[in-house]
Amino acid sequence: MEQQFDLSGEVAVVTGASRGIGRAIAIGLGSAGATVVPTARTKSDLEETVSQVEAAGGTGLAISSDVSEEESVDELFERTVEEFGGVDILVNNAGMNPESALGKPETIEIERFDQTLAVNLRGAFLCAQKAAEYLQDGDGGAIVNIASVAGLVGLPRQHPYVASKHGLVGVTKSMALDWAPDVRVNAIAPGYVETEFIDEALESDSIRQSLLDQTPLDRFAAPEEMAGPAVFLASEAGSYVTGSCLTVDGGWPSK
């Protein structure tokens, strides 16, 4: 069983890996033996991720990139292949849900809608396109898209984010069909995770308690709790899983 989760010799690119869920997944992949390329826009934060990957026993290389820019994504994968000879795993975790994109539908500026989809959906699709070129050249590989419970149900005042995550779940299923059997494509739909991403919302005691009341496990997740599912879907342990969206939500009523 241990061998099924072993990622030794695999090269993994993790977007949005400068903090939170992305950093935790990068560390988890590294501890399973993978060489990890964490990427985000801020290089200094990525260096801390690499330090933690190496402390967990893995190997890492920080490469800054902007997933919403095609040239930047091209450079990310070209440099990764130049350094390590290929790509075996892609984790699409880069995401945003800015306060300026929150509100009732009639109040959302279309520029904020476009900005959110450019990172959360278009960026993930673009990275998958580029990664597939290399994944298909090898012995096959795995793509893991980090969606959200917001990709499975409606949430008030979060319309661009909900649209982007529903879209990400959808393209996960369609890419899995087109790239099988060479590349497995799956998604993870986290519930509420204690990260900087949701810190502002959780400052309100009433909102925090309301969310906890809807979570049967009666707590929010730690970022590290997303690493195990990601390793499972990226490894041979998940070799017969593709086109699936794994909810990791503490029982949130999202199904």
Q: How far apart are CA 22 and CA 12, in angstroms?
A: 12
Helices 70-84 & 124-135 angle (0-180, nearest 10): 30
CA 117 to chain centre: 14
**Which two structure tokens, joined as six digits, stand for 72?**
């930047």
Q: How many other β-carbons are positioned within 10 Å of the β-carbon of residue 59?
A: 15
Q: How far apart are CA 109 and CA 120, in angstroms?
A: 17
- Annotated catalytic residue 240: no
Alpha-helical regions (H) of 188-226: 199-202, 205-213
> Of 134, 161, 192, 240, which is the active-site residue?
161
Query: Which residues are catalytically annotated?
Result: 161
